[in-house]
Homo-oligomer: A and B are copies of this chain.
Amino acid sequence: MDQTQICPRFEKGIQIASKRWACLIIYQLLEGPKRFCAMETALNISGRLLSERLKELETEGIVKRIVYPETPVRIEYSLTQKGLAFESILSAIQTWSQTWIEPDSI
């Protein structure tokens, strides 16, 4: 890695990964499409914050929101190809954590 100049794409990637909750939301969605309430419960996150993060991830092209015209309407969130590819980053964090995080430091 060449640190003298940070590539704007890399910096943007760091910015996305560093956004609080983003990694955990993507991790949840790697399981498959999810409804808002299910994510809210699983992550123990406020609705306002989850909604904000989902909108940001949608803008980044990582999450897609699908509206099923049923009664009542059903809305599901899932990962785009870009979002699915993010798994490689989460895997790297997982591998590093398993090797380097001491259980008694948590």
A101 touches B13 (CB 8 A): yes
Nearest CB to that of A27 among chain B residues? Answer: B3
A7 touches B99 (CB 8 A): no
Complex contacts, A31 vs chain B, CB 8 Å: 3-4
A18 at the interface (CB under 8 A from B): yes
Number of copies: 2
A43-73: which residues lie under 8 A (CB-CB) from chain B?
Answer: 60-61
How many chain A residues touch the partner (CB < 8 A)?
46
Q: Select which of B18, B30, B60, B85 is within 8 A of A22 by beta carbon.
A: B18
Distance of A99 Cα from B81 Cα, bound (Å): 11
Complex contacts, A3 vs chain B, CB 8 Å: 27-28, 30-31
> What would 22 A/B residue contacts be, using CB atoms closer than 8 Å?
A1-B90, A1-B94, A4-B31, A7-B97, A7-B98, A9-B97, A9-B98, A9-B106, A10-B93, A10-B97, A12-B97, A12-B105, A13-B93, A14-B93, A17-B93, A60-B105, A61-B100, A85-B96, A86-B96, A89-B89, A89-B93, A91-B92
